[in-house]
Structure 1
Amino acid sequence: MKRMLWIFPMTLLIWVPMTVEGQQRQFQFKSPRPPLQAEEWVKRGFATLAQGQYEQAIYWAKRVQDKYGNVHVRWFPSWLKRIVSEDAIPDPYDDEGILQATIASFKHGRGLNWKFLIRSTSPAWLIADAYFRKGEYEKALEIYEEMSKGVPPGIDAIAPSRAYLCRKFIAEGYRPPQPPPKNTWRPLPLKFREEDYFILVPLDQACKILGIPFQYKVNPKTGKRTGAKIGEKGLLSLMGRPFARNIRGEVDDMAYAPYEEDGVAWVPFYWLAKQAGIRGWEVRNGKIYVAPK
């Protein structure tokens, strides 16, 4: 059940009637590849959702929904263009091409598993998940229930599981804890960059400032960093695999794959903030502000 709370689901390629905020609408995943503007808006919604900006996620998802429908969007992180030639990057909508690119990458010693690098979602998923994470379970349940109607029997899908959790939380009267008032937040002396709408930070600097114990893992044969140990049990791969173990040793799904560039390992700040127990953060005036633990 814990894994369900963290994972961003791969979108199901199915036709489903969808009700959003009382208005009956029909959504159909469209083919071929969506327009570039739709892709960018979905990517922005995905990043804002992962980073805890739920209203922004709903805003961007609804813009896509209103203009293009419930398009299915798939993409790779932009940093890949800096380490491989652009013509070596497969079409994210071509499953066979992704498999062949992965085989070729391992054959030539780079070891990029393109399947793990791909991100995938749709506006409907973003809206439902944003409501779920905000604690507006009634709104989320309405969407998840409609999604579950299109799931064939025997498939272990996310939507029915989330619908169950919504009913459970509604019955218990549960609401997620809210962060402290923003006037109590403090800035961090930490440089960062934005990429694919994610705020990324240098791993070693961020861990030091956040008080998270870590050490790099180094390949003894090549001398290259292959990952990092976060806390006592957490393991983070720097080989472009977004799956990691969090500070408690549980399998976690990082929404943006970490990578190393010029000796610096970059990771999404939201993920490290979660490991440090930070319940709220934002970028303001060129600095990252965090809520007290």
Structure 2
Amino acid sequence: MNETTTKVAVALLAIASVVAWLLAYPLLAERLATILGVGWLIPRYSFKLFYMVPVVTDKGTMIQLAGALVAASLPVYIYARHMARLIDILDEELAELLSTYAGLAASSGSTADALLRAARMLKPPLALYVERMARIYRATGDLDEAFEEAFRRAPRRIRLLARSIVTASKSGGMIHEVLTAAATYSRESRRLMKMTQSRLSEYSFVVSLASLTYAVAAGIVQALVEKTVMSSIPGFGGAVDTAILAGLYFYSLIVIVLASAIVIARVVHDYVLLASKYIILLIVASMAAYLLSPAMVG
């Protein structure tokens, strides 16, 4: 299965997950409402227009919509986690290839033989890239074309570093120096990336905490406004529609969660698809905080 087919399959699976959740949640909510005695879990599909924008006004529908985002993100996260691990494995194997290829090239009869020997020493998936490159080169005699064809679907970082093999093969007697420099750069840049991710992971906690803090504050403010509206303050009861206020808080919470997840994935991991992981975690935690925090007022 090629990369395009895989992405299409992930998209279809995400759509199927959303449909399954939207159909299953009302039944699940009724059972939970009966067991827990909490009627607001059941979706009422209540909406009100606010400046021509439909605003959801019941908690059950909010949970159903938030759950749909989680359901859509789950297949994407499984795919993103697989790709992140694949890139990590490729990075490790490429560092080994760059360290050993000079010796293989010196003891082999041709570049194609050196590449085939290297492929037998490596693990998939890099072994498959290198073997394909060797066979194309043996058939065409064009090393650049063989590299481009074999590595065209490889991640950008892997493709850039692997090109040093082509450069080294054309450098005459400098093959050892070129590959040593490339291997050193690969190891050091990888170590620096790990250190950077470790340090930046602290910021992901801060961003996540900010989302949760907003969720708690929104829930408490909503509860306080409802209590004030229900009180006997003259003229205040009709000034605020608490149902619309709750829906607007819900929308803003979702926007904050999505933005936070994208920022964390881009800055910490440099891989936007991993935002799906933080969307799942932050939506579950933030919705729980938003829906349960009014109990603090009570």
**Shared topology, TM-score over 0.5?**
no
Comparing both structures, which one devotes a greater share of its residues to helix? 2
Say which structure, 1 or 2, has more relative contact order (CA 8 Å, 6+ apart).
2
Q: Which structure is larger by alpha-carbon Rg, 1 or 2? A: 2
**Normalising to structure 1: TM-score of the pair?**
0.30
**Normalising to structure 2: TM-score of the pair?**
0.29
